Structure 1
């Protein structure tokens, strides 16, 4: 069976890490027709927009997409293409698995948790304005519908994956209405899953606890902003963003992407770490039912990473992006 999948190479190091991922997926024998489309900073000159309509149309047609990182200007310029994609396609669940690799220097061992982040609202809705030249205002949007949907997704994922606990993160002691609504939604959904332990943790305390005892956590569900911050924090516990994949899931459409940025300063130098992109590809393979192929790649990665000389430079090794992919391909072939 051949799969039609949208491929968005991305900006900066995106084309390099996505190319490595595609090579590995093809080496493991999954038959995919890649519908390659461009988005991001490069299409502003050619199309007048960082997110051309043909990108959205391709994803809606194929239902599955693999995407490289896209540049988002800081403080000015166009709005995040990542946020726009999630909103336009209603990709309401951002899934960030965080799992330790044996042999990789990190702050903690035996970490294996999943952060489930609401992906469509909160402060990321982008509703903000200048009140006057000295004051800016940003509106935090939390709805019952989106909150219950993401909490149900987290509990169902915990049940499906035989996870034992869901931890809901909030700041309802201060934001009693917005975060209070998210918390009440989680409490309501928890009643439908009596087999799953449920706990509530305030976001600042959660940051401390994750740094100290990440092994205590299983599935974490959070509003958009907290989920984004905690995801990067958790990735730092296992060796960095280069080891952390992500998935954006909707009712019908799923988009998979590395969590790191476009790293324009090291693009086209063959030194980028492709593991985040590769693991995002693994999540994609599991999503389409190609579990054997996904496990082969995961095992190959584990074997390759045990030898320090096989790692990319950011992990203390000597391999370039292409060479690292070739090492993984040798182990899956």
Structure 2
């Protein structure tokens, strides 16, 4: 306890605390405290001494607080309360009399405590907070003298420039003759054709296909399709349209629905289902892959299969999986648009289709050598 702060002038005027104990009557001796009988004392009326409140040390003797800039603090005499103001509007003070309403936290202390910097943070009354002026906010209308955003183009507005950009709706097309070849094997020779063409944009195309086989001067089969191609995912599209078959009897028409795309590991895959009046169904599967020995020398294996729900003696097809054909062609691209090739094909008829072939005196399995050209433009 710092006795230097005590007022000794008032100590002499302080009255001693009155005791509730009865004073001894006149003429009775006063007992010593050590021999006082406590059995008759009323403890409920006793009061414990209250320690005096601790008086903080002067500011000059206090330890500096970490992170606080004492150069911004007001060490002058504590301000007196304004008697003209109500008690609720008096500035907040602690026991030492310091006025914290005008204190501001330095930027270094704000950074260490995580607080956002403020220009003049006050903890005064609501009137002071309401009188704070906010800085300029973003948004709103541009000034009248603002620069035109199109002024850099000297008045030129945005417009389409044909031929200078590949837009999603820009149409383009291609014609591909994948194989125009001569075939020879088992004492027979013939010609085969596999071609396709399409025209349209990135998402919608018109697709035409043609595949036929001619043997011994007679058209064995010719399949033509007209399809609408619609992209639904990267490298994949659906195909809807019609199919027309000729050769080997009367013509036949089918409705076609399938999918075509580039499978993982660069397999070119095509699967199509067909239906015609009377409840007849068919399906076709085709898969190809390119093995690049060099940028010009390319080996292309191909696997194709056909399936029918009904037998067609005119065309020599039975029910179920009718045939599987495997081809292997090696081409040399003199140019990308012009590539001669040579290869072999193996065709195996299955099930009732093989029975129909044997009934006509034909073999169920044929092996042929082929040579031809691959063209596109």
Answer 1 or 2: which has greater strand percent.
2
Structure 1 and Structure 2 fold alike (TM over 0.5): no
Which is richer in helix? Answer: 1
Q: Which has the larger radius of gyration?
A: 2
Q: Structure 1 length as normaliser, TM-score?
A: 0.22
**Structure with the larger RCO, 1 or 2 (CA within 8 Å, 6+ apart):** 1
